[in-house]
A and B are shown apart, each in its own frame.
Chain A
Amino acid sequence: MEDKVLMKGNEAIGEAAIRAGCKCFFGYPITPQTEVAAYMAKMMPKLGRVFLQAESEIAAINMVYGAAGSGVRVMTSSSSPGISLKQEGISYIAGAELPCVIVNIVRGGPGLGGIQPAQSDYFQATKGGGHGDYRLIVLAPSSIQEIIDLTSRAFDLADIYRNPVMIMGDGMLGQMMEPVQFKEVKGREVPEKPWATCGLYGRERHNVITSLFLAPEECERHNLKLNNKYKEIEKNETKFELYNCDDECDFIIVAYGTMARICKNLINMADKEGIRIGLIRPITLWPFPKAAFEQVIGLTRYGFLCVEMSMGQMVEDVLQVVNGRCPVEFYGRCGGMVPSPDEILVKIKQILNQREGVI
């Protein structure tokens, strides 16, 4: 077991990718994730692997397409406005069923927005972003250690399902430093890539990487195939954490990433005041952990509180899952403002007063 090292989130992503066998990294500078590219620029050539700073995020995602199609593990990284640029490429990658890892270190939006952390790309990541019927597997770490674990997992998932996988961080996770440990983890069994365009070399038929299906019957067949794959992923790969949900709670908070960390502090604070709060922490944003809600919905007295660094995106999924069975509230800050545990506690007390008043 290696010693603990102090590492910046963005750099940990790079190191984890390298250890997962990432052969190529294509990226472009954008705050607050430029350190990922800088780290890869330094480390990849030392290992005889590929680092290339592309001319744009568009070019970078298309380089990812080419390399992924050639059968190698490949990653790109960007932040919100750059991820918007990549949407076309991501749709093509999903359509062509290519494995790759895309890192989004989310910042305030929309448009040029700000450079401070946010969670306002949830819709973009989980509801499409690019055109067509496709899904990204979206992983949301909430600590740097988890970034390392999930980055490794991301490459495996990408290969197993031949699908792009997004790691959704935010500006805070990207910039902060924490002690971490790189464990020797046995990766999952991943399939070979007989479909890759790596040269004929005696193969009878040439391989073609494409997402074009002009005949509608063919296109539909392809979409059904993709859809079946997404159903498999929903069945097998959903991941969440339940915190403080063993007994009855006044509220159950739903939060991910940095927000979940803050809410854990809040939960401990609230406990001292006799307010019992549990937490559902989605680790996969897609597939959304519906099962977590089924497990704990009977335990919450006043329903759910969804806390996000946005104007309310994940809350729509919570509303859909809860389906009117109990109240769903929302609290959020955006534009780079990070809620403190205190202000969330204030909001909780407000709701409690309202509810207990009615009762």
Chain B
Amino acid sequence: MAVIFDRPKALLDVPTHYCPGCTHGIIHRLIAEVIDELGILDRTIGVAPVGCSVLAYNYFACDMQEAAHGRAPAVATGIKRAIPESIVFTYQGDGDLAAIGTAEMVHAATRGERITTIFVNNCIYGMTGGQMAPTTLPGQVTETSPYGRDVLTQGYPIRVSEMLSTLDGPAYIERVAVSSVPNIIKAKKAIKKAFIYQMEGRGYTLIEVLSTCPTNWGLSPDEAMTWLEKNMIPYYSLGVKKDIALEVK
């Protein structure tokens, strides 16, 4: 009998603080599996955000830095420029990346900074108790949109992957989901491709991972996966938004 599935080495054997059924756990594991498979644990340095995953630095086995809210792409830039042979990734949620961190996100992308961003999109601010995010869907009820997001007064959600794909700096942008096993398998492939592109020095890579927040959505983990597929995927379409390898020179 051979072990065909076990904890990757890049994910420390410690319990996490995430809620039951929170997809952060799945995404952490996928990143760690990719790091293991590419053999880059030694030279990988990750940057944790402010949000539910603020303690991500306790879970990954590689060197980690904790960044101020929204600043992870700038921190990652400092690391990568200081140590060009390192593999640097940022792990960010909706508020971190698309609210306070919009400038840092756009400019790291347009500089073609050789870093990889894993963007965890769950349409809500989890850590602070379920407030509206830049990615909250129209009509979605949150603590700060208690009557449902009213686009007239509260604006429209941002499709980050599409927005960044208009820039020349990014080398690979794909939106994936972790709502089912087939989607999880595709998500891992995308994350792996993003890291490989970084290893090849091709430019900025971002994988937007549609995720759930059972606690703040008020749903069970399984119901939340269904909600994601029914409501988020129609608005945030899955697929490759930019691939430099497919562009005609």
Interface of A toward B, CB cutoff 8 Å:
23-24, 26, 50, 52, 54-56, 58-60, 62-72, 74, 88-89, 92, 96, 197-202, 206-212
Which residue in B47, B58, B62 is a CB contact (below 8 Å) of A66? Answer: B47
Q: State the main secondary structure of chain B at its contact with A.
A: helix
Q: Do residues A65 and B63 form an inter-chain contact, with CB atoms below 8 A?
A: no
Q: Shortest Cβ distance from B81 into chain A, in angstroms?
A: 5
Q: Do residues A197 and B77 form an inter-chain contact, with CB atoms below 8 A?
A: no
Interface size on B, residues (CB 8 A): 36
Q: Do residues A62 and B81 form an inter-chain contact, with CB atoms below 8 A?
A: no
Find chain A residues with CB under 8 A from B209 CB: none
Q: Shortest Cβ distance from A194 into chain B, in angstroms?
A: 12
Q: Does B65 reach chain A (CB closer than 8 Å)?
A: yes
Q: Knowing A24-B78, A65-B75, A66-B75, say if A206 contacts B62 (CB, 8 Å).
A: yes
Find chain A residues with CB under 8 A from B103 CB: 55-56, 58-59
Q: Do residues A63 and B86 form an inter-chain contact, with CB atoms below 8 A?
A: no
Q: Do residues B75 and A206 form an inter-chain contact, with CB atoms below 8 A?
A: no
Q: Does B45 reach chain A (CB closer than 8 Å)?
A: yes
Q: Does B82 reach chain A (CB closer than 8 Å)?
A: yes
Binds A, one of B66-74, B159-167, B176-184, B231-239: B66-74
Q: Does B43 reach chain A (CB closer than 8 Å)?
A: yes
Q: Do residues B83 and A88 form an inter-chain contact, with CB atoms below 8 A?
A: no
Q: Do residues B83 and A63 form an inter-chain contact, with CB atoms below 8 A?
A: no
Q: Shortest Cβ distance from A93 into chain B, in angstroms?
A: 10
Q: Do residues B45 and A199 form an inter-chain contact, with CB atoms below 8 A?
A: yes
Q: Can you list the 3 inter-chain pairs with the closest CB atoms, starting with the nearest? A: A66-B78, A62-B74, A197-B63
Find chain B residues with CB under 8 A from A200 CB: 41-43, 61-63
* Complexed CA–CA distance, A26 and B81 (Å): 10
Q: Does B60 reach chain A (CB closer than 8 Å)?
A: yes
Find chain B residues with CB under 8 A from A59 CB: 71, 74, 77, 103-104, 107
Q: Do residues B78 and A198 form an inter-chain contact, with CB atoms below 8 A?
A: no
Q: Do residues A62 and B62 form an inter-chain contact, with CB atoms below 8 A?
A: no
Find chain B residues with CB under 8 A from A206 CB: 60-64
* Complexed CA–CA distance, A203 and B74 (Å): 26
Q: Which partner residue on chain A sits nearest B69 by CB separation?
A: A88
Q: Do residues B78 and A68 form an inter-chain contact, with CB atoms below 8 A?
A: yes
* Complexed CA–CA distance, A24 and B74 (Å): 13
* Complexed CA–CA distance, A206 and B9 (Å): 12
* Complexed CA–CA distance, A202 and B45 (Å): 14
Q: Do residues B78 and A70 form an inter-chain contact, with CB atoms below 8 A?
A: yes
Q: Shortest Cβ distance from A219 into chain B, in angstroms?
A: 14
Q: Do residues A62 and B57 form an inter-chain contact, with CB atoms below 8 A?
A: no
Q: Which partner residue on chain A sits nearest B103 by CB separation?
A: A55
Q: Which partner residue on chain B sits nearest A68 by CB separation?
A: B78
